[in-house]
Amino acid sequence: MVYLGVDMKSIPSFPPNCILLQLSDSRIYGSRDEYNSGAFGERENEISEVGETTGHHKYERKTMKDVEGDAKNQTQLEPRDVQKELRAQYLTLKKEVHHAKQHLKIEERKLKEEEKDGEDLQQEIKEASEAVELVRTQTEKVSQLLSHRQNQLKSTTFLLQTRQITLLNSLRSFFPIEKVSAQTWTINGLNLTKPYDESEEAGSAWGLVVHLLTMLSKYLDIPLRYKLLSNSSRSAIQDGSRIYPLFGRGFNDGVRCLTVCVEGLLRARDIVSKEEHVLGKIGELLVGTCDPRRKEREKSREVRRKKTEQVEAMFR
């Protein structure tokens, strides 16, 4: 049903289960049930503006003018409500857009900061890479220099050992040491017999020993425990302010200090001597220094000797 260009069912005051009837009193009323049963004619005199419940709705009977007014009000109010709703939606959307823009600005600011941090980090990585590359280059140069220096050191050490061996061989020829017996040794033909005596020959021999030890200390670059005073047959040993002669009375203290100096040279060259005589110890020092592999050969001989003894013990 359409009234004044408005669907009457869209009017809030018009229940959906009612029909409009206009009677002689210009009122509209009724429900579909009343219209279908024809009972609304009998209740004409009972019509009032009091609301009744018909079907599922409670409605109020009104005149056509009232309904027309409702329709006009609905027609007038609806665009205004729509405008309000649209404006509310617009404001809501505007706020959301504003918040979105603010959030976007914040995110853009964060992104710029992160990009800047990333650029700084890339710069730091680049600088670190350059530093590492520089260190690697310097390390390679240092390694090459170190390798070159090591080769030089090996060459110099070899030349030094060769020179030392040459000088010691010269000393062996200048001061020949020979073994006569277990207690007697000679140096340049001068005898030194144990126990040592105070003879002039012994004094001259001790003078040669002092001179030989002084030269050995210089050639091997090994300091001696005591200071040696070389003066031919009147040589002596100095310990601080005290002097021990190697001739005449009291020479035994000087011989003891001289033996300490010889043993110091042996330890410095890692040579073990089994001789008790001073000249025997010096002879082993000269041989061991001039022949560095002599010690290895002695160890090999010692190992073979022990194995031989073990085998012989098994067959006994």
Higher pLDDT, 274 or 265: 265
Q: Do 80 and 24 meet the contact criterion of CB atoms below 8 Å apart?
A: no
List the Cα angle 294/216/283 in 5-degree steps: 45
Is it the case that residue 11 has pLDDT exceeding 60? Answer: no
Average pLDDT of the chain?
Answer: 78
pTM of the model: 0.53
Give the CA distances from residue 249 to residues 78, 163, 246, in Å, rounded to whole numbers and listed in that order: 146, 40, 9
pLDDT digits (tens, 9 = 90+) for 135-170: 999 999 999 999 999 999 999 988 988 888 888 888
Q: Do 276 and 184 meet the contact criterion of CB atoms below 8 Å apart?
A: no
pLDDT digits (tens, 9 = 90+) for 68-114: 555 555 555 466 777 888 888 888 888 899 999 999 999 999 999 99
Residue given tokens 């007038």 in the structure block: 76
- pLDDT of 6: 45
Assign 260 a pLDDT band (cuts: 50, 70, 90): very high
Higher pLDDT, 68 or 203: 203
> Going by DSSP bridges, is the β-strand pair 27-28/62-63 parallel, antiparallel, or unpaired?
antiparallel
- d(Cα 53, Cα 264) in Å, to the nearest integer? 135
Is it the case that residue 20 has pLDDT exceeding 90? Answer: no
Instruction: Please name which of 184, 187, 223 lies closest in space to residue 206, comparing C-alpha atoms.
Output: 187
Higher pLDDT, 209 or 51: 209
Domain boundaries, the chain: 2-69, 175-314
Is it the case that residue 290 has pLDDT exceeding 50? Answer: yes
Q: Do 32 and 17 meet the contact criterion of CB atoms below 8 Å apart?
A: yes
Is it the case that residue 121 has pLDDT exceeding 80? Answer: yes
Q: Do 269 and 289 meet the contact criterion of CB atoms below 8 Å apart?
A: yes
Is it the case that residue 293 has pLDDT exceeding 70? Answer: no
Higher pLDDT, 48 or 228: 228
Above pLDDT 90, what percent of the chain?
A: 24
Determine the CATH number of domain 175-314: 1.10.418.40
Listed range (19-33, 118-132, 209-223) with the worst mean pLDDT:
19-33
Listed range (30-39, 61-70, 246-255) with the worst mean pLDDT:
30-39
Residue given tokens 């220096």 in the structure block: 149
Task: Name the most confidently modeled range: 47-51, 228-232, 302-306.
Answer: 228-232
